[in-house]
Amino acid sequence: MEKKTATATAAKKKSPAVSKTKTSVATKAKTAVAAKVKAVTAKAKAVATKTKAATAKAKAPDVEKTKYSPEELQEFKALILEKIAKAEKDLEMLQQAVAGSENDVSDTAPTFKTLEEGSNVLLKEENQKLAARQQKFIRDLRAALIRIENGTYGICQATGKLIPKERLMIVPHATMTVEAKEASKKRR
Is residue 56 in some structural domain?
no
Let me know whether 168 and 114 are in one domain: no
**CB hemisphere CA count around 1 (13 angstroms):** 0
Let me know whether 76 and 103 are in one domain: yes
Is residue 111 in some structural domain?
yes
Let me know whether 112 and 179 are in one domain: no
Is residue 34 in some structural domain?
no
Let me know whether 91 and 72 are in one domain: yes
Let me know whether 186 and 121 are in one domain: no
Q: Who contacts 176 (Cβ-Cβ below 8 Å, separation ≥6)?
A: 156, 157, 158, 159, 163, 184
Highest mean pLDDT among 8-17, 104-113, 166-175: 166-175
pTM of the model: 0.57
Please answer whether residues 173 and 137 qualify as being in contact, where contact means their C-beta atoms are separated by less than 8 angstroms: yes
Is 90 exceeded by the pLDDT of residue 11?
no
Let me know whether 146 and 74 are in one domain: yes
Is 90 exceeded by the pLDDT of residue 16?
no
pLDDT in tens, 36-86: 657 655 665 665 566 555 555 544 454 567 889 999 999 999 999 999 999
Structural domain harbouring 184 = 154-188
116/108 Cα distance (integer angstroms): 10
Confidence of residue 145 (pLDDT cuts 50, 70, 90): very high
Let me know whether 77 and 140 are in one domain: yes
Let me know whether 96 and 113 are in one domain: yes
pLDDT in tens, 80-103: 999 999 999 999 998 988 887 555
Closest CA to 37 of 25, 45, 47: 45
Is 80 exceeded by the pLDDT of residue 112?
no
Is residue 48 in some structural domain?
no
Please answer whether residues 132 and 125 qualify as being in contact, where contact means their C-beta atoms are separated by less than 8 angstroms: no
Q: Output the pLDDT for position 110.
A: 54
51/43 Cα distance (integer angstroms): 12
Percent share of the chain, pLDDT over 70: 57
Q: Output the pLDDT for position 100.
A: 73
**Range list of H helices, 60-153:** 70-99, 110-150
Let me know whether 159 and 115 are in one domain: no
Let me know whether 132 and 176 are in one domain: no
Three-state secondary structure call for residue 40: helix
Let me know whether 144 and 185 are in one domain: no
* Number of domains the chain contains: 2
